[in-house]
Structure 1
Amino acid sequence: MPQILVDADACPVKDEAITVAERHGLVVIFVSNGGLRPSRDPMIRNVVVSKGADAADDWIVENALPNDIAVTADVPLAARLVPAGVHVIGPTGRPFTPESIGMAVAMRDLKQHLRETGEDRGFNRSFAARDRSEFLSALDRTVRRALNAGGQS
């Protein structure tokens, strides 16, 4: 069975990930540098890693298996997971796929360069209710795809 790994630091869709995981009977693992709310549900696991810059990312990469599902807005993390056969989606429901990850990395790098040169102030739009709804739909589709790929129904 696939599991859902969530890059939980500043993730706005933790409750939605739990909702979808419960619907499909999957384990959800929240990986964070701290500040996670404990759960008594055995299907919800919290992993607290050291305060290192990429400690949560490294833990997810080391523990994700092909056909698992990862939730992250972190493009470099997604770029590490996609080639390993992990289904990756962002909190807005945006999928990171073998076809799209190269462009996502290039756009991230371009935006970072523009911020560093002062051409872009780096303001991101607010997370909206529509994003939450898109995420729920995308995660449900991704879980169904992972279950079908694994021969589960």
Structure 2
Amino acid sequence: MTALYIDADACPVKEEAERVATRHKIKMFVVSNGGLRPSQNPFVETVIVADGPDVADMWIADRCGAGDVVVTGDIPLAAKCVEAGARVLKHSGEALTAANIGNVLATRDLMADLRAADPFRQGGGKSFTKADRSRFLEALERELRAAART
């Protein structure tokens, strides 16, 4: 049976994911190391893991598999989930697959090296837009339907 895993730390689409999971009657796990208000929705289970680096990521990676969908902005976690056979979406709706995860990991590492080489580099990530939210909703709908068919 399909499950939806949300890497909840800094996830801007938790509410949208909950609406879609509820519509599909799919169990959704919202995983973080705290600071979240648990949902009263019976389809949503809030999982609070111990503090520590990548503990939430390991919880998700250890449980997801074929037929599941994972929502994360964490590229190394995404790679582990893709390897386990799960369908993975970034918050923007971009699907991470076996065909593109290698390039995404390489780009992430390159950007980390560039930031480390230039300590005066200014700026952060781009803001999350309504268009990003809409793309995410469409992509999640598509991935849950595809996961249900597997």
TM-score scaled by structure 2? Answer: 0.95
Question: How many residue pairs get matched?
Answer: 149
Asked whether the equivalents of residues 115 and 121 of structure 1 are also in contact (C-alpha less than 8 Å), the reply is no
SS of match in other structure, 2:73? coil
**Which residue of structure 2 aligns with residue 146 of structure 1?**
147
Cα RMSD of the aligned pairs, angstroms, is 1.2
1:32 matched to 2:32:
yes
**Which residue of structure 2 aligns with residue 134 of structure 1?**
135
**Which residue of structure 1 aligns with residue 41 of structure 2?**
41
Question: Structure 1, residues 87-137: CA drift from partner, whole Å, max 9, x if none?
Answer: 000000010000010000000000000000018545211011110000000
How far the C-alpha of 1:51 sits from its partner, in A, is 1.1
TM-score scaled by structure 1? Answer: 0.94
Structure 2 residues not aligned, in runs of 5+: none
Rounded to whole Å, the distance in 2 between the matches of 1:147 and 1:121 is 43
**Which residue of structure 2 aligns with residue 61 of structure 1?**
61
- Residues 135, 105 of structure 1: CA spacing in aligned structure 2 closer, same or farther, 3 A cutoff? same
How far the C-alpha of 1:17 sits from its partner, in A, is 0.4
Question: Structure 1, residues 16-49: CA drift from partner, whole Å, max 9, x if none?
Answer: 1001101111011000010111222221000001
1:114 matched to 2:114:
yes
Question: Structure 1, residues 61-86: CA drift from partner, whole Å, max 9, x if none?
Answer: 11112221000000010011101100
**Which residue of structure 2 aligns with residue 52 of structure 1?**
52
Letter in 2 for 1:145: A
Rounded to whole Å, the distance in 2 between the matches of 1:22 and 1:43 is 6
**Which residue of structure 1 aligns with residue 88 of structure 2?**
88
Rounded to whole Å, the distance in 1 between the matches of 2:34 and 2:14 is 14
Asked whether the equivalents of residues 115 and 122 of structure 1 are also in contact (C-alpha less than 8 Å), the reply is no
**Which residue of structure 1 aligns with residue 75 of structure 2?**
75
What is the percent sequence identity of the aligned residues?
A: 46
